[in-house]
Amino acid sequence: MISNQKVDIIPLGGLGEFGMNMMFVRCGSSAVVIDAGLMFPDDELLGVDVVIPDITFLKQHRDEIQAILLTHGHEDHIGALPFVLAEVDVPVYGTSFTLALVKHRLEEHGLLDSTRLVEVEPRQRVTLGELEVEFIQVTHSIVDAVALAITTPAGILVHTGDFKIDPTPIDHKCFDAERFEEYGRRGVLALFSDSTNVERSGNTPSERAVHARFDEIFSKAEGAIVVSCFATSLHRLQIVLDTAHKFHRQVAFLGRGMTQIYQLATEMGLLHFDLNLCVRPGYEKTLRRERMVYVATGSQGEPMAALARIAVDENKHFKIEHKDTVIISARMIPGNEKSVLRMVNHLYKRGAEVYYDDGSQPPIHVSGHASAEELKWMIQTTRPRFFIPVHGEYRQLMRHAQLAEETQAVSHQIIVMESGDHLVIEGDQAVLLDKVAVGRVCIDEGSLEEVDEVVMRERRHISEDGIVLPIIAINKHTGALERSPEIVSRGFLMMDQNEELMTNASGVVLKTIEGSSLEEKTDQTVIRNKITRDLKKFFFKQTQKRPMVLPVILEI
């Protein structure tokens, strides 16, 4: 029977872009928000740490919102939560590990004690106003991921979250195909499905596929082994621990994020290993080098992460030596390729053998997202009246729509939406209304300052503390300075009255460069970050001001 009730669907982020996943769903007087994610800024967003969706619409409708529902704990799904909760005080529902990650974020923002966190389990149902929500277990690259089945007076909505269908998950928590089949029999009004891997044919391999490649690499490694992956990939961490045990090696974790996740997962019983297998960084120096495995952050080439620092001999706990092995067990996120490959070059120069996701078989990394055949299965199983692809850039949403059309399993309409679109489904009709206000809000996490426009933020920053431009001329072949560093300042301090300070600042730059290796000096990204970091510390210590520091590197 077709209902005459209507349901409003408004994605506030995550459609037509990667990151900032957030969707508003309303039926009658009850609404929920699905996920609250962030994205990381492009290089041109100077001084910006993270980008979150504009939540003006949520603030306008806060009285209708019953809860925020989280599908899993990746930053592109939970990272904006502290900023949302500061304006919209509603309960947050999520699984155990998801909420453990959320608690850490909320504690950083001073919101933990004031937030109502409700832990749920797969197949649990909760009533939120006129809506009933069931959490359905799915497999993904992070543990405790769920899809959502939302029963509304207008019909059933199924939101997959991020998923793949892994028949042999490391933690034995299988994809709950039975629940999707049951909802398909009951009748699904609308399906919202992850589009990330729609351009990949076939099925995404099981996480267990990585085991064989790790065995192969560990068996022939002569020196120390360094493995870098996403910190929240507990399945991958379990494989590292299992393989290290098999080959009689011990494990140390490098990088704050990796160490925090390891400790959290261990406390929650999500990693299974002999506690004697792991050692603290520093203690391993008493052990034979060829018996060690280091697990490090920095798989995307982030300049200050552990692996990037190891690549240029900047990590205090570990230095690469000839015959060491480095495994980068993560895909290169689009836009990060140059940073990752530059880091790989540095590692090779130090004599390491480097393995990364180059398409070789067996794989060194497998995706957490469903490929085309799995996406077809989801559509054919739920047989929705309306299909809306989510989570991806526009070409991926279009490819997913085309895939849905090929299945002939969508009875009414396939709708490609973008962030800000307002879809109303009523009976057999689906109509796109005028867009709601959406956009990106840039955040400086150091001050938790919200920035509506990057230009306004930069103007305000410069007007308060000024700007400092260190100008450094470096020989791109030898790494030698062609002349002494020059410091140009505007809006910070009067140059003629602070000559000694600027002379000392020039000395800080000189010391930073002299203390850097040839590779660091000839790698603009690394040396720029090091100079910025050291000058910011120096100026704050001397003046209690935080000028914007923008090094200008001239390669001669």
SS (H, E, C) 85-132: HCCCCCCEEECHHHHHHHHHHHHHCCCCCCCCEEECCCCCEEEECCEE
Contact yes or no for 539/505 (Cβ under 8 A): yes
Catalytic residue among 35, 76, 194, 324: 194
For the chain, helix, strand, coil in percent to 5 are: 35, 25, 40
CA separation for the pair 199, 42 (Å, rounded): 24
CA separation for the pair 555, 300 (Å, rounded): 25
In angstroms, the Cα distances linking 216 to 243, 247, 364 are 10, 11, 10
Residue 446 CB neighbour total at 10 angstroms = 10
Residue 329 CB neighbour total at 10 angstroms = 26
**Would you state the structure tokens that stand for residue 329, as one six-digit string?**
């067990």
Cβ neighbours of residue 85 under 8 Å, at least 6 residues apart? 68, 92, 106, 111, 115
Cα three-residue angle 517-315-516, rounded to 5 degrees:
15
Residue identified by tokens 């480095």 is 326
**Would you state the structure tokens that stand for residue 475, as one six-digit string?**
């020989």
**Would you state the structure tokens that stand for residue 375, as one six-digit string?**
């996406």
Q: Over the range 50-85, which residues count as b (16 or more CB within 10 Å of their CB) and which as e?
A: bbbbbbebbeebeebbbbbbbbbbbbbbbbbbbbbb
Query: Pick from 387, 405, 403, 386: which is nearest to 395 by CA?
Result: 403
Cβ neighbours of residue 267 under 8 Å, at least 6 residues apart? none
Strands (E), 410-524: 413-414, 422-426, 429-433, 440-444, 449-451, 467-474, 486-490
Residue 521 CB neighbour total at 10 angstroms = 24
Report whether the peptide linkage leading into residue 362 is cis, meaning its omega lies within 30 degrees of zero: yes
Catalytic residue among 369, 391, 400, 461: 369
In angstroms, the Cα distances linking 240 to 139, 211, 295, 368, 422 are 19, 9, 8, 17, 45
Q: Strand, helix or coil at 437?
A: coil
Query: Pick from 400, 422, 420, 320: which is nearest to 9 by CA?
Result: 422
The reply to whether 43 belongs to the active site is: no
CA separation for the pair 232, 243 (Å, rounded): 18
158: enclosing H helix or E strand = strand 155-159
Annotated active-site positions, please?
194, 369
